[in-house]
Structure 1
Amino acid sequence: MKNNISADDLAVLLAVVREGGFRAASQRLGIAASKVSTTISRIETQLGTPVLRRTTRSQHLTEAGQLLVDRVGPLLSAVNAACHDVATFGGQIQGQLTLNVPGAVMPDILPPLLAAYRTQHPDVEVEITVDSGLVDIVAAGCDAGIRYGSVLEQDMISIPIGPRRQQMAMAASPAYLDAYGVPQVPKDLTAHVAIRYRLDAGPLLPWTLQCKGQSVKVEPQNALILSVGALNTGLRYAQEGVGIIYTFRNWLDDDFESGKLLPVLPGWWPYIEGPHLYYPSRFAPKPLRAFIELCQATPAEA
């Protein structure tokens, strides 16, 4: 079997996977949707096997298609990075930096970093996709991702970004605590209602408390469950007395100072490891390398 699949055709396949469909891929690539369909059919004919399962509403990779994308994606990224580096050799860094990040880093961790990055590299366009799930950033067409925790795909490396530790905290409105009482010990929380967050298509974020080396998990009653991507929106519901909220302590500081929210069990507030930037271990394009260098040069917060 001859294999004459061009890099351009493979780039179309990756665009379909990244954008989630033929029409979105055609808009991203600036070509007709019919050409996208013809390209995918040509790939399948040359390979002798389907790479996509098509329905009237969506397209999903077959096992063979997934294998192809996993192998080809990093290689095309490397080719694009090399061509970009040669084209901008010795000059101002140009191009695009695409990041896949959780909503938790959007309000306070990313803004100062991106402001400094844009000052240093004004010709780079930055695009951010907010997604809290575990994502194959290469298949998603992103240069790098930011996540909490240490679960990484193969051939990925990571560096700390922002604070090395972040303290979690619990709070409730004065009206809620007047109505339902103030918890005195962790087990009291099981009698209270809470504002909880759910990981994308996954479990609820656990409420883990720590004090003097002791760690406990508690399960309050759920009053409201929000997507983890809406972390910073839960504060408004807590202010209205919907329930107790468990979130980043620094997000609560203004409400503590104003009296809109009151601390709950402050002696049990735990620390968690801060977020990490992760990216393929090879062939980072110049815009990404510059962002990595900025993150490494930025003093670590406590």
Structure 2
Amino acid sequence: MAKFTLRQLELFAQLPKHQTLSSAAQSLHMSDSALSHAITELETAVGEQLCVRRKARGMYLTPAGTHFASRASEILRATDSLAGELSEVSGELRGPVSLVCYTGLASNVLPAVLEGIARLHPEVEIRITVGDHSDLLPALADGSLDVAVVYDIGLPATLQRSVV
């Protein structure tokens, strides 16, 4: 079993975006020698040459390196997803939420709602839209909006509701 770190995967996954090791190192806020050392350790761990480094002519990935960088990116996305899933299990919400509010309720209700969400779920990014039922209901139905603060009058039975 190959022994390498997520940090090495993060570094290597960035290499295809650069033509030189110096450019990659600068982008990653590290020295050329530290990046080169991390790549060498990674190559030793996997038993393959992943990158050809030439001082005067830049660097390029070997076919194995190109495949490895692609898979490393997939693994990093999966680890981000796993961390997100854990936060969902623990009840911690994060990410963008499209919140809409009926015009007549906005000035009275939104300040308290926004304050409460910010306090309870600081990782949530709220996008607010204010409008009337004719604007809000179709957007809720098609999934382009996540949450609506509206009067419970004439709402389709298919909508999940929470009365506050």
Compute the TM-score of the two structures, normalised by the length of structure 1.
0.29
Higher helix share: 2
Normalised TM-score (structure 2): 0.49
**The structure with more radius of gyration:** 2
